[in-house]
Amino acid sequence: MTKSGAGAGGGGRRAKPGIPKGLWGFTVAAAGFAVFGAVLLVEAALFAHRAERAESTVTGIGGKKTCVRNAGKSGSQEYTCFPVEYRFTTHQGRTVEFTERRAEDKLPAVGDRAPVRYDPADPAADVRFEATALARYAFPAAAFVAGLAGSWLGTVLLLRYRKAGTATARPQG
C-alpha cells in the first residue's frame, strides 16, 4: 500500500511548527508604513498651519515638451506637456515665480488665477496649489491607518503563533 499524501490520513506536507516565514517582515513593514503615514500627516498639518495663502496668475505657457510619467519604472509613459509659468506676490510684497508642467488637455489660459499656499520662510521653495482637506490628508491618513491595521494584524498573529508554539513545547504529563 502506498501513501499518496492526499487522503484524510495521508502524510502530506505539514506546516512546520513555529512562526511562518515572512510574518516578522510583514509586521515590521506594516509598522514602517504606519510611521511613513504619520510623518506625511504631520508634515501636511505643519505646512497647513504655517502656510499663507495667495492668488497666483498664469503668466506664460512654454513650448511643447515630452514628459515621462513614472520615470525609471517599467510602466513609464511619455506624454506631451507644457511648462506653465505662474506668479504671485507674498504678504511681505515679494514676487515669486514658479513653473509647473501640465498635460495638453489641462492647460490653463494666460491670465487665469489659481489659489496657492506657500511657506513664508521660503516662498519660492515650497508652493502648493490650494487643496481641500480631503485631498491634503487622504493619502497620509490612508497610509497611516493601513499601516496600523497591518501591524496590529501581524502582532496578533505573532502572539498566537508564539502561544501555540509554547503550548506544544510543554511536556505532557
Q: Which amino acid is at 57?
A: T
Hey, which bits of the chain come out as E strands? 52-61, 65-69, 77-89, 95-103, 113-118, 127-129
Q: Domain residue spans in the chain?
A: 22-51+131-166, 52-118
| Chain segment 84-130, per-residue pLDDT in tens | 999 999 999 999 999 998 888 888 999 999 999 999 998 988 899 98
CB 115 within 8 A of CB 51: no
Report percent pLDDT > 90 for the chain.
55
What pLDDT is attached to residue 31? 96
The residues that bridge with 113 in the sheet, in sequence order, are 57
The residues that bridge with 127 in the sheet, in sequence order, are 118
What pLDDT is attached to residue 164? 79
What pLDDT is attached to residue 171? 59
For residue 39, name the pLDDT band (cuts at 50, 70, 90).
very high
What pLDDT is attached to residue 2? 52
DSSP line for 52-75: EEEEEEEEEE---EEEEETTTSTT
Say if residue 11's pLDDT is above 70: no
CB 160 within 8 A of CB 20: no
| Chain segment 23-36, per-residue pLDDT in tens | 999 999 999 999 99
